[in-house]
Amino acid sequence: MPIAVLIIVVVAWTGPWSKLPGVVLLHMQVAAASSIAPGATIAAAFNWTPFVGGSAILASWIIVALLLRVNGQQLSEIWRKTWSQMWGACLVGVFIFGLAYVYNYSGMAASLAKAFSALGTGFIIVAPILGFIGVALSGSNTSTNAMFGKFQALVGQLLGFPPLLLPTVNSVGAEIGKPVAPQTASVGVSTTRFVRNEGEVIRHNFFWCLVVLVYLIIISVGFYVLAPGTMTI
């Protein structure tokens, strides 16, 4: 029943017919000035969209709790345990996105892109690895894309790669790193006997993650060599 409720609510909430994920309750924007090109600016914007997919999952949880008639004492215990396990992961998301804004708008991403472009076409092998490392450290594909997405795109521009190739393999490589991310493992084992033994789960997953990562590198090289036209806008 909980799985059925989750699927129904998330599909109804986030489907193409729903406007909820696009609702913006707070918009903040500043002009980031270039130190290289005098007078050049770019908008650094932040939109607070509280009704995205995560809110749909919270709504699913509330519905399930009502259907299962969870009482106040049980709710208190659930929230206490959840907070104990998740407070660190919540902070990681906040700090990663703050760092991503500084990293991208201060010129660090462009400087790093210039340095990595020295690898030449060999960077196609490194790109998915960077995504993998990013999620292994942050636990979030979204955070990794915020950190390295622009960087990957800049390297692609400098090397003349198809525009979508490097950001794509960065995102897919990030997803491959999910099973070895401490935050992800903590959430995944929260209802199992492996609570506080996340290291055992990560060790079990690590080899297979590397196997899939190598497979992704082969696919990346294949797209670059054989089908670069499919990675254009």
Per-residue pLDDT band at 59 (split at 50, 70, 90): very high
Are both 132 and 197 inside the same structural domain? Answer: yes
* Domain count of the fold of the chain: 2
**Alpha-carbon separation of residue 19 from 25, 28, 52, 57 (angstroms):** 13, 21, 10, 16
Q: Which domain holds residue 3?
A: 1-70
Average pLDDT, the chain: 86
* Residue 100: predicted pLDDT: 82
Question: Which residues are CB-contacts of 160 (< 8 A; sequence separation ≥ 6)?
Answer: none
Task: Kindly state the percentage of the chain with pLDDT values over 90.
Answer: 42
- Give residue 227's Cα distance to chain centre: 26
Per-residue pLDDT tens digits for 79-114: 898 888 777 767 777 787 788 888 888 888 888 899
* Residue 147: predicted pLDDT: 83
Total-model pTM? 0.72
Are both 64 and 104 inside the same structural domain? Answer: no
The span from the CA of 35 to the CA of 38, in Å, is: 6
Per-residue pLDDT tens digits for 170-190: 999 999 988 888 777 877 777
Are both 134 and 212 inside the same structural domain? Answer: yes
Local structure of 205: helix, strand or coil: helix
Are both 221 and 139 inside the same structural domain? Answer: yes
* Burial status of residue 142 (CB atoms within 10 A of its CB: 0-12, 13-18, 19 or more): middle
Are both 115 and 164 inside the same structural domain? Answer: yes
Are both 231 and 166 inside the same structural domain? Answer: yes
Are both 143 and 208 inside the same structural domain? Answer: yes
The span from the CA of 190 to the CA of 27, in Å, is: 35
Residue 216 has pLDDT above 90, yes or no: yes
Segment 139-149 mean pLDDT: 83
**Cβ-based neighbour number of residue 102 at 10 Å:** 11
Asked if residue 11 belongs to a domain, the reply is yes
* Residue 136: predicted pLDDT: 79
* Residue 40: predicted pLDDT: 76
Contact 104, 205 (CB under 8 A): no
